[in-house]
Each structure stands twice: as structure tokens, then as C-alpha cells.
Amino acid sequence: MTQDAPEMSQEEDWYTEDVATFGDRLYAAREAAGMKRGTLAKRLGVKKSTIAAWEEDLSEPRANRLSMLAGVLNVSIRWLLMGEGDGLEAPQEDSDVTDPDLLAIFNQIRDIRARMKADLDRLAKLEKVLRKKL
């Protein structure tokens, strides 16, 4: 099977904006901190459903909650938003999954996410141009 784009297997690319969403990073940081949604919600003074919506990228926290999130989860705000700065290390690819077929599927999923993000960025730029012309 051939791929059009290079594989994104570098560890530093795991949580970047091109690969992971805000919700992905929030979920990973919460799990790494060993917290359940309810525990995090209580510490932030929000509902458990609010945490779920943030993790599922249905909504985003306001600046004050974002700052609290970063502090409670011991990551930087910049890492939560863009995957840059102080945050989590990339998970070890070989820790649980050793099947080459499964690893190939994970790499393809990451590639599709990166392409979708690039397409969404292009779409947003086109919409902006269109709105200016209307």
C-alpha cells in the first residue's frame, strides 16, 4: 500500500495542532493526571458534561477556565491550545501495540487527521475570501 504523505511518526508531532485537537490534548492530560471527568469538573467548578463537551470538541473553555485547566493538569495553556510548549510526552508507540498492521492503521488515522485539519484550514480561508467579496 502506498501513501501520498510521509508518515508522522516523530514523537514531537504526536500532540501538535495538525494531529490532535484541543479535546484530544485535554483528554490525554486528564488521563495522565489520573483524574476522572467528575473530579476535574469539581476542581474547576463546572459540570461533568462541560468537561465532556470540551474533550469532544463541542465547545471550548473561557480564558479563566483554560488557565485553571492548565494549572490543575500541569501543562501549559499553549500546549492545551496548540500542542506546543510544556505538556505531555508522546505515548510510547511500542508499549501496547506491537502488531505491524495495527501500527499502520494508527499511522493512517493520524495522517487522515492531519489532512482533514489542512483541508479545514483551506476551507476557512476560502470562506473568508468569499465573505469579503459578498
pLDDT at residue number 97: 66
pTM: 0.58
What are the grid coordinates assigned to 65, written together? 477556565
pLDDT over 70, % of the chain: 77
Same domain (yes/no): 66, 109: no
Nearest-5° Cα angle at 46, 40 to 50: 85
Q: What confidence category does residue 13 fall into, taking pLDDT thresholds of 50, 70 and 90?
A: low
Section 59-86 average pLDDT? 88
Final residue of a structural domain among 73, 89, 105: 89
User: What total of structural domains would you count in the chain?
Assistant: 2
Alpha helices in the chain (DSSP H): 22-32, 37-44, 48-55, 63-73, 77-82, 100-133
The dihedral sign for the CA sequence 121, 123, 126, 130: negative
Q: What confidence category does residue 65 fall into, taking pLDDT thresholds of 50, 70 and 90?
A: very high
Please, are residues 27 and 52 in contact by the beta-carbon 8 Å criterion?
no
Question: What CA–CA distances, in Å, run from 103 to 31, 55, 116?
Answer: 22, 24, 20
Phi then psi for residue 63, to 5 deg, are: -55, -40
pLDDT at residue number 82: 84
Same domain (yes/no): 97, 72: no
Same domain (yes/no): 83, 107: no
Question: Domain residues for 126?
Answer: 92-134
Q: What confidence category does residue 55 fall into, taking pLDDT thresholds of 50, 70 and 90?
A: very high
Q: CATH number for the domain including 85?
A: 1.10.260.40
Same domain (yes/no): 80, 113: no
